[in-house]
Amino acid sequence: MSLRGFHLVFITFATLLSLFMAVWCFVFAPANSGIGVDIMGWLSAVSAVILPIYGFRFYQKAKNIIL
C-alpha cells in the first residue's frame, strides 16, 4: 500500500471514529455527564464534516502526483 493509499484509509477511519464519537456523545452518553461530553460531541461532529472535505481535496491533489 502506498503512502497515499494509507493516508486515504486513515482519513476514512478518522471520519468514522469522529462520527461514532458524536453519536455516542449526543445519544448514548449518560444524562449527567457534564459539559465536557457536549463539547467533545460538537468537536467530533465538526471533525466528521471537515475530514471528508480534507480527504477529497487530498485525493484531488494526490492523483496528479506520479512517483
Following CA atoms 67, 54, 48, 42 in sequence, which dihedral angle do they give, to the nearest 10 degrees?
Answer: 140
- Residue 26 lies in domain: 3-62
* Tally of domains in the chain: 1
Q: What is the mean pLDDT of the chain?
A: 92
pLDDT category at 67 given cuts 50, 70, 90 is: low
At 1-33, the pLDDT tens digits run: 788 889 999 999 999 999 999 999 999 988 888
- pTM of this structure: 0.86
pLDDT category at 42 given cuts 50, 70, 90 is: very high
Q: How large a percentage of the chain has pLDDT more than 70?
A: 99
- Give the DSSP H or E segment for 54: helix 35-62
Tell me whether residue 27 is in a domain: yes
Tell me whether residue 24 is in a domain: yes
Tell me whether residue 67 is in a domain: no
